[in-house]
Each structure stands twice: as structure tokens, then as C-alpha cells.
Amino acid sequence: MASCHLCGQESPFISSFLGVCRTCLLERFPSAQEWVMEAHSRARKVFGLPAQPPRDDDGLSCSLCINQCQVGEGKVGYCGVRRNKQGRWEMNQAKIGFFSAYLDPLPTNCVADWVCPGGSSAGYPQFSYTPGAEWGYSNLAVFFHSCTFDCLYCQNWHFRESLDFSEAQTTDSLVRMIDERTSCVCYFGGDPASQLPFAIKASREALKENRQKILRICWETNGSFNPRLAETLAKLALDSGGCLKIDLKAWYEEINLALCGVSNKWTLNNFRLLAEFIPLRPNPPLLIASTLLVPGYIDEEEVGRIAQFIAEINPEIPYSLLAFHPQFMLKDLPPTPRVLAEKCYKAARRAGLRQIHLGNIHLLQ
């Protein structure tokens, strides 16, 4: 059981690593910010990553995500892969990617599997090979070894242990992994936001090489990418039958900053932009939202606010609530209590959403 450094409250739902409770984050953030920044600095120092987005006056400017880094000579951006080497980016962002990929048999553990063509009847026959889950087919899962956020509960944090630039690969190497039984490509991570030029180029090449078959392009992201790229991502998904899975990690910016180190302003804005494309292809759903139910920090109020935001845009947007498993720097928090998941589900329903899903229910306690 940890205590809050500001109010002294003790609770199993306060992270000892973060050291501040939800109430103080919302009501006393100027005081809490010191603890928040110190926690993220510690989490990133282990991997040699900058504590904050760099702002070097003579650095190279990167506009790919909300962090808008200015990267000095010999340094890396907040994401860990945009490196300034003698005044130029070390990797050609459109030709070289830092990722690992594998063929994952469908149906798979995807945030959208309950509404996407790979795991449901959606999109058949134009965008799916079967009238139900695509048994016998595969998803090319592309895991990017970089991220624009710094989530203290990251479930895939191990990629930070192998930030080796010698392992970078080309778009051709990725496209060659697609075989006759591959029906979708999903970019996730980490997060694709910091490597979108590569992902966009690879997607276009893959669709060109496989124009005679179904090949859906899907994105799973924190939504922090440059808004200028929203239309491009939407069209790649639209035309191919894919979807955009946006992780709405929090509603209040203070909570997003505490848990993820970065503001959620661009995420919410990009969600609105992407929703404008929904009428162009109602089935399968283009846009799916998800939220991880982090005990003590993401509660029914937070989910209710997020759900209201989504419902006001379009109440048919699918929303997945995901159970939390203690991981990375928040290992001292418990798994999501079943009672919390039920309260959050009801809050999303009250907000007006019509498609709500509880994921990872085996983790509920």
C-alpha cells in the first residue's frame, strides 16, 4: 500500500512509483507535476531516453508527433529513433523502419477483433475472405520499436531494451513477409506515430504488390501523430477495409501527463478528424476506441467523460474497455477489479455509446 506525497492518503490504488493520487493530480497538478516529471525521468533514464522532448536551439526539427522535438547533434528524440547524426537524421524516415514483424494467425488478440473483418462477420465479402472470423488466414503484425508516449504501465516495454539502429529494416523486407494467406497488416508497438512515413510507404507498396487480393491496413496508435497525416491514414484503412484503433488513455490532460508523460490534446483532436471519414464506409467500422482501466487513475468518471466525447461525435463508434495487468513501472497496482470494470461499462452505456466491449476479462479480479 502506497501513500500520496501531497495529501498523505494511503491506498492500494496509488502507485508508489508515481507517488501521487488521482485526486491530487486533478486538484493540485502544479504541485503534483514535480513528482510526475521525476517519475518519467526515472522510467526513461534506464533506457537512455531523454526525460522530456528535447528543445535544442540548434537541433533538427521533427514534426511527426505532438512532441515536436528539436534534436541536437548526437542526440535522439523523445521516441528514441529520430537521431541527429552530423546534422542529418540517421535513418531515412520513409525508407528505413525500426520494427519487428511476424505472421499472427487469425482470429488474434486484437483490440478490434470483435468488430473487424479478421475476427467477426464485418466486411464480408468485400473485405473479408470468410463470413465469420478468418480462420486459416494471418495478420502481419508490425511492432514498431519506438513510442511517442511514456506510459508507466506499458505492456510492451521490453522493446526499449533493444534500441539498436543496426537492426533497422527496409519497406521491401516488410512487404516480402506478406504471403497468400495474409489478409491484414496491423501497425502497433510501441507506436507507429514516430515512424509513419515508413509505414505509409510500406502500406502503399504492399497494396500495389497485392492488388488482386484482400489486404487490410490497420493502425493501433495513441493518436499523437501530426494531424496532417490523419487523412492519409484514414484513406489507407478505408480503401483496404482496415481500421484505426485509437487508444484514448485518459480524458483529463493531467491524468494523461501523469500516466503517459505527454498531453492527449492531439489524440482527441485526431480522433475527431478521423471520425469525419466514418460515413464513407460504415461497415466494417473504420474507427475504434479503447481505454485501459488502470485502477486508481482511470475510473468510471474518466471513462464516462471519454464515452461522452465519443458519443457526441458518433454513438456507433465501438469502444473497448481493457482490463489492466500490473506491468513495467506500475507493478504495485492491482489488476482491474471486476466491480470497476462493471461501473466503467455502465458509465459508457449511460453516455450513449451503443457498442461497448470488455476486453481481457480473464484479468479481472
pLDDT, residue 363, reads 87
Domains identified in the chain and CATH numbers: 1-46 (no CATH), 48-90 (no CATH), 96-363 (3.20.20.70)
| Cα atoms found within 13 Å of the Cα of residue 188, Cβ hemisphere only | 23
What's the whole-number mean pLDDT along residues 89-94?
Answer: 86
What's the whole-number mean pLDDT along residues 101-123?
Answer: 95
Q: What span, in angstroms and rounded, lies between the C-alpha atoms of 322 and 246?
A: 13
Task: Tell me which of 106-110, 176-180, 231-235, 297-301 is least confident.
Answer: 106-110
Q: Say what the pTM is.
A: 0.96
Which residues have CB under 8 Å from 354's CB, separation 6+?
A: 315, 316
What are the tens digits of pLDDT across the range 307-318?
999 999 999 999
Q: What span, in angstroms and rounded, lies between the C-alpha atoms of 292 and 248?
A: 8
What's the whole-number mean pLDDT along residues 231-244?
Answer: 98
Give bridge partners of residue 70 from the DSSP assignment. 55, 61
Q: What span, in angstroms and rounded, lies between the C-alpha atoms of 100 and 329?
A: 24
Give counts: helices (H), strands (E), the chain: 9, 16
pLDDT band at residue 42, thresholds of 50, 70 and 90? very high
Say how many residues make up the chain: 365
User: Could you write out the DSSP letters of every residue in 39-107?
Assistant: HHHHHHHTTT--SS--B-TTSEE--SBTT--EEPTT-B-TTS--BEETTEESS-TTTEE-EEEEEEESS
pLDDT, residue 167, reads 74
What's the whole-number mean pLDDT along residues 19-41?
Answer: 98
pLDDT, residue 308, reads 98
* pLDDT-above-90 percentage for the chain: 93
- Closest CA relative to residue 189, chosen from 234, 238, 151: 151
pLDDT band at residue 166, thresholds of 50, 70 and 90? low
Which residues have CB under 8 Å from 230's CB, separation 6+?
A: 270, 273, 274
What's the whole-number mean pLDDT along residues 91-114?
Answer: 92
Instruction: Give the orientation angle of helix 300-313 with respect to helix 338-350, to 10 degrees.
Output: 30
What are the tens digits of pLDDT across the range 262-320?
999 999 999 999 999 999 999 999 999 999 999 999 999 999 999 999 999 999 999 99
